[in-house]
Amino acid sequence: MGYDPENPMQGRITDIGPPHYEQYFPPVIKENYGKWKYHEITQPGVLKHVSETGAECYTARIACARLISIELIRDYCKVADDHCEGFLRWTTRNNVEFMVDSEAKLQPLLDDLAKHGMMPVGGTGAGLTNVVHTQGWVHCHTPATDASGVVKAVMDELFDYFTSMTLPAQVRIALACCLNMCGAVHCSDIAILGVHRKPPLIDNDVISAVCELPLAVASCPLGAIKPAKGINTKGEEVKSVTVKEERCMFCGNCYTMCPAMPLADPEGDGIAILVGGKISNRISGPKFSKMVIPFLPNTPPRWPETVDAVKNILEVYAKDANKYERLGDWAERIGWEKFFEKCNIPFSDKCIDDYRLAYDTWRTTTQFKYTSHIK
């Protein structure tokens, strides 16, 4: 029996929730649950966990593009069937992990991963791991840039940092293709963020049909949208809105609420770079990423300006920071004026906060460094 459209309620099952996690544990995980004693990274991309019982679990971590086909998932399954007793897992950062219970089983696993071509091993320790990212032009209606393409371009260039552990600390790059930030990139070492720069269009031909105007008006955090009469292409007067353009900060919330107010534009849209955020509480508390480059153009298919900017920041940090120092901690230690100087990034008034609570980020001390910015 399957679904019967004539009888939709017949045999219906709801609210069963996710399957219980334990049935998907490899035996070594199940047997040593809660008994792990310590771990070691034996080579880039390989973790060794040792249990109080003496049992060992070797994990090989590989990059996954997140946007993946069922054919590729089947390839992953083949590896897991051949080497890992039919189990595998994903990490919170879109990596795939294959686990074996002895060192002897590790090398054959690594060999098979290497043979495949789309399963690079890495993403551990003081290196670069996979990029948390969003949907982009592949599947969303509000993006200011693509997601998968930018990630591919950036990671092709920075690939050696994924397969090695030469950085001062781990570096987390994340990408969100609009300010909705489905990837929640606001606390990343390096955040790549799609931004709009033109106020919404107003489509008077459809606005009264497709929008609840009061909701559109209320959607604007800055009160830039007001009810107004508009003229449609037939020359008729219709209920509509106006946007006070000088007030708009291009957040796109109006478009989320009202399909007749699109912002996207080939010249207007592009990428901002924010840096210095972190999530963990290690040494310093979590930090927001800060905007250092307000705009780079959308240049598909390989976004060279964005790739160069990210690579430059990463490499200046890698050379200059102390062991264990996260990118944001480094920038704070040397001072943001030094950050801009060392990275050779022009400072811009766009990097000075003028939104709510902005004052918190303005400098109110005589303590600063003389950099080339002071003429």
Binding footprint of ligand HEM on the chain (CB under 6 A):
135, 139-142, 180-182, 184, 256
Question: Within 13 Å and on the Cβ side, how many CA atoms surround 75?
Answer: 15
As measured in angstroms, the least distance from the Cβ of 235 to other proteins is 26
Which of residues 153 and 202 has its CB atom nearest to other proteins in the complex? 153
Strands 46-51 and 56-62: antiparallel
What amino acid is encoded at 128 in this protein?
A: L
Residues in the chain: 375
As measured in angstroms, the least distance from the Cβ of 253 to ligand HEM is 7
Could you tell me the two tokens for 347? 């400072």
As measured in angstroms, the least distance from the Cβ of 184 to other proteins is 4
Which of residues 23 and 92 has its CB atom nearest to ligand HEM in the complex? 92
As measured in angstroms, the least distance from the Cβ of 99 to ligand SF4 is 15
Binding partner of 70, given ligand HEM, ligand SF4, other proteins, none, CB within 5-8 angstroms per partner class:
other proteins
- At 64, is the secondary structure helix, strand, or coil? coil
- At 329, is the secondary structure helix, strand, or coil? helix
Report d(CA 291, CA 337) in Å as an integer. Answer: 13
Q: Which contiguous run of DSSP H or E holds residue 266?
A: none
As measured in angstroms, the least distance from the Cβ of 247 to ligand SF4 is 7
The angle formed by the CA atoms of residues 64, 66 and 71, to the nearest 5 degrees, is: 75
As measured in angstroms, the least distance from the Cβ of 298 to ligand HEM is 18
Strands 96-100 and 270-275: unpaired
Q: Is 148 exposed, middle or buried (0-12, 13-18, 19+ CB in 10 A)?
A: buried
As measured in angstroms, the least distance from the Cβ of 254 to ligand SF4 is 3
Binding partner of 243, given other proteins, ligand HEM, ligand SF4, none, CB within 5-8 angstroms per partner class:
ligand SF4
As measured in angstroms, the least distance from the Cβ of 144 to ligand HEM is 13
Binding partner of 113, given other proteins, ligand HEM, ligand SF4, none, CB within 5-8 angstroms per partner class:
none
Are the C-beta atoms of residues 222 and 180 closer than 8 Å to each other? no
Binding partner of 295, given ligand SF4, ligand HEM, other proteins, none, CB within 5-8 angstroms per partner class:
none
With a CB cutoff of 8 Å and minimum separation 6, the contacts of 28 are: 55, 56, 57, 99, 100, 101
Which of residues 190 and 254 has its CB atom nearest to ligand SF4 in the complex? 254
Report d(CA 99, CA 270) in Å as an integer. Answer: 40
DSSP 203-241: -TTTHHHH--HHHHHHH-TT--EEEEEEE-TTS-EEEEE
The one-character DSSP state at 194 is E
Which of residues 141 and 369 has its CB atom nearest to ligand HEM in the complex? 141
Which of residues 141 and 244 has its CB atom nearest to ligand HEM in the complex? 141
What amino acid is encoded at 354 in this protein?
A: D
Are the C-beta atoms of residues 52 and 41 closer than 8 Å to each other? no
Report d(CA 152, CA 145) in Å as an integer. Answer: 13
- Which residues would be at the binding site for ligand SF4 (CB under 6 A)? 134-135, 140, 142-143, 176-178, 180-182, 199-200, 219-220, 222, 224-225, 243, 248-254
Which of residues 83 and 133 has its CB atom nearest to ligand SF4 in the complex? 133
Binding partner of 225, given other proteins, ligand SF4, ligand HEM, none, CB within 5-8 angstroms per partner class:
ligand SF4
Which of residues 75 and 337 has its CB atom nearest to other proteins in the complex? 75
Binding partner of 71, given ligand HEM, other proteins, ligand SF4, none, CB within 5-8 angstroms per partner class:
other proteins
Binding partner of 259, given ligand HEM, other proteins, ligand SF4, none, CB within 5-8 angstroms per partner class:
other proteins
Which of residues 269 and 310 has its CB atom nearest to other proteins in the complex? 269
Which of residues 106 and 187 has its CB atom nearest to other proteins in the complex? 187
Are the C-beta atoms of residues 296 and 271 closer than 8 Å to each other? yes
As measured in angstroms, the least distance from the Cβ of 332 to ligand SF4 is 18
